[in-house]
Structure 1
Amino acid sequence: MYFHSSRKTQLLVHIGFDAKRLFHNFTGLGNYSRTLVANLKQYYPETRISLFTPKGKRLPRTESFFDSTKYQLYEGGGAAWRTWSVYKDVNKYRPDVFHGLSHQIPFSSDKLECKTVVTVHDMIHRIRPKDFPSLDRMIYERKCKYACANSDRIIAISESTKRDIIKFYKTPEDKIDVVYQSCDPQFANPVPQEDIDEVHALFSLPETYFLYVGSLVPRKNLLRIVEAIHSMPEADRMPLLVVGSGRKYMGRVVRYIQKNKLGPWVEFLGDLPFRLFPAIYHEALGLVYPSLYEGFGLPVIEALSVGIPVITANSSSLPEAGGDVSKYVDACSVDEIKSAMLQVRSDGKGSEECVAARKAHVQKFAPDSTASQLIGVYESLL
């Protein structure tokens, strides 16, 4: 179910959030949490927001959430508090809705004196169980299954995730609302020249390059991109810059690079300051993101927001993110990845019309639209 409301809410809604990821995670789940809460406050400023978290980290990307004129912050205990006893503190603040932003609500949710919503991002622990240690997989399964069974509403961040929830948990379809996530507003703004100059100075960027953005884990499929580069004639290769971190899988990729003497064509930049992401996208010829499974695929809409070509997989949620303005490949086919990269290398970034079409596509994920849909979910419970 989608909620398309162009009006501002007339209800004075009070939302409590499980904000652990907002303050403590600086990749996908944290980005989702920060963007969702900030957008809700920006477009529905009358909404009262309470944030429940283990002690919050005061960093540049979380600083705004310590503003007591916008948010009520409650800093509680550790994992046991968040999983079991947070209900006591939530009940003291008396929100209308408690929203778990990352697959879980308290196991004591029956003691909450408010409605509950949970966001489910993906079902990776069921679809790719070997990606997780057995204990972690068991914990994820227990938390996610409980949340889907016991929350009043479920938000899935894509139609793909909604289908997976129904498949694995037999959840009634009408209990699930699809509300896409939006990316940080900085990606929709013109990229400051000083940021472009800074990334060139920091990394001595090549004149043209492909970009990979994401954690360095097997599911993200970086090794096949590197294999695709290896399969090209040297004269056709272009550098690949890798933004992200990871240890075990990165070691595997590095060994392949060393064995095949691909060092001149693959460079690891590590974790880039978030404010410089638009600049590193802007200067790239295109994003290569043939992930084997995604709940949504945020780098796809970040790249399209900046206007550059995207090569991504034709499976899971990625066609929802990429729309008809991206190039699709079989994520398991090195040949298809290679062919798509060579095609983008030949075509370049495309015409002004192509760039405009990419930016137009991502308007369906615009923050005002997703905030409106979110308010619709909350209001449906009141």
Structure 2
Amino acid sequence: MVKVIVNGRFLLHRITGVERYAREILAELDKIVEPGELEMAVPPAIEEVPGYKNIKVVRVGKLHNRLWEHISFPMYVKKREAVSLNLCNVAPLPAPGIVCIHDVKVKATPQYFSKKFLLWYNLLLTNAAKRAKAIITVSEFSKREIIKYYHVKAEKIHVIPNAWQHYERIPYDENTLPKYGLEKEQYFFSMCSLEPNKNFKWIAEAAKQNPDMTFAVAGSINEKVFADGLGFECPANMNLLGYVSDEEAKTLMRDCKAF
């Protein structure tokens, strides 16, 4: 049997959508794989790793971050005569293996991203589209987009959707609304990274048209990635909460007027 080795670089990052997807997929795989069937390689800088029962976690190499991902990790995979599994869009250039491409926003909405970001991600996604053994994505829409922009054969792409079940394990945080100055069922809530391609501007327009209502948005923006930041001003009744914890997010969803 061919061994599959997971790219564990995502553990370096704060949990957002793609990192959540990777963590939950692996947690479920750990319940069904045989011991030694699946392995996860992580950079030396990783301090805490999930406690798996059947997935073996190994620290690999001496390099860090992207250099680790494109040099140390593929070298280890090759040495083990294995296939890499990359769940967060990015896969090593020398051997992309199996790649989960969550979206192709760099092709669909390139105007929102810096030239440096576009160049790098187009290189990674083009390489993965041409050379990956298989591609995973999270929806039929994303599958159609990958086919449209990268001309991948449909049978090479497998849809494994996002899910919600991890929220069953998360408790509520009753201090959330006082912390953010909100009242139960008196605000509209949205949670996403504040990227222009997420149509975040639509929420701002809705807030302007409804000045007596409160709009709370959880998420952060990386000014280094996006071409013009938000590209618009937020109205006074729009509260940008920044990054929120899982417990806070669950409470904000429960207590909002609409999500």
TM-score (norm: length of structure 1): 0.59
Distance 1:131 1:34, change over 3 A: same
After superposing on structure 2, the runs of 4+ consecutive aligned residues of structure 1 that deviate more than 6 Å are: none
Q: How does 1:34-45 map to 2 (within 5 A)?
A: 34-44=23-33
SS of equivalent to 1:107? coil
Q: Secondary structure at the match of 1:121?
A: coil
SS of alignment partner, residue 232 of structure 2: helix
Alignment partner, residue 95 of structure 2:
109
Please give the alpha-carbon distance, in whole angstroms, between the structure 2 residues aligned to 1:69 and 1:180.
23
What residue in structure 1 maps to residue 179 of structure 2?
Answer: 202
> 2:115: which partner in 1?
134
Q: Which residue in the other structure is 2:57 paired with? A: 72
**Partners of 2:71 and 2:162 in 1: CA distance:** 28
Cα distance change on mapping 1:146 and 1:225 into 2, 3 Å: same
Do the aligned residues in 1 keep the contact of 2:42 with 2:60 (CA within 8 Å)?
yes
* Aligned residues with identical type, % of pairs: 23
- Partners of 2:217 and 2:150 lie apart in 1 by 36
Matching residue of 2:73? 86
Residue 56 (structure 1) shift: 4.3
Pick one of 233, 236, 243 that aligns with 1:271.
243
Q: Say which SS state the counterpart of residue 135 (structure 2) adopts.
A: strand
Unpaired runs of at least 5, structure 2: none
Question: Is the contact made by 1:24 and 1:57 (CA closer than 8 Å) also made in structure 2?
Answer: no
CA distance, structure 1, for counterparts of residue 174 and residue 241 of structure 2: 16
Q: 2:44 aligns with which of 52, 55, 66?
A: 55
Deviation at 1:121, TM superposition (A): 0.9
Show CA shifts across 1:29-67 (max 9, x none). 211211111121134464633222333443xxxx45266
Q: Could you say what secondary structure the match of 2:5 adopts? A: strand
**1:250–1:126: structure 2 CA closer, same or farther, 3 Å change rule?**
closer
Q: Which residue in 1 is equivalent to 2:168?
A: 188
| Equivalences, count | 251
Range that drifts further, 129-138 or 41-50: 41-50
Matched, 1:223 2:195: no
Equivalent of 2:217, from 242, 246, 249? 242
- TM-score, structure 2 normalization: 0.84
Residue in structure 2 matched with residue 169 of structure 1 by the alignment: 150
Match of 1:286 in 2: 258
Query: Whole-Å Cα distance in 2 between the matches of residues 40 and 242 of structure 1?
Result: 32
Q: Residue deviations 1:58-109, cap 9 Å, x none?
A: 3xxxx452668743222432323322453221234454x3212233432222
Contact 1:104–1:118 (8 Å) recurs in 2: yes
Question: Which of 29, 32, 48 is 2:21 aligned to?
Answer: 32
Compare 210-219 and 14-23 and name the one that shifted more.
14-23
Other-structure match for 1:252: 232
Could you tell me how far apart the structure 2 residues matched to 1:98 and 1:183 are?
26
Give the aligned partner of residue 84 of structure 2: 98
3-state DSSP class of the match of 1:22?
Answer: helix
Distance 1:33-1:22 versus aligned 2 partners, 3 A rule: farther
Contact kept, 8 Å, 1:196 with 1:283, in 2: the verdict is no
Correspondence for 1:212 among 190, 196, 202:
190
- CA 1:107 to 1:226, structure 2 compared with 1: closer, same or farther past 3 Å? closer
* Letter matched to residue 188 of structure 1: E
Partner of 2:100: 119
Cα shift readout 1:225-283 (whole Å, capped 9, x = no counterpart): 22223223x5xx421111112266458333xx2xxxxx3x3222221122322111111
CA distance change for structure 1 residues 81 and 271 in 2, over 3 Å: closer, same or farther? Answer: closer
One-letter amino acid matched to 2:194: L
Check the 8 A contact 1:239/1:267 in 2, yes or no: yes
Secondary structure in 1 aligned to 2:233? helix
**2:106 touches 2:118 (CA, 8 Å); kept in 1?**
yes
Displacement of 1:284: 1.1
Which consecutive unaligned segments of at least 5 residues does structure 1 have?
1-11, 111-115, 258-262, 288-382
Q: Which has the higher helix share?
A: 1
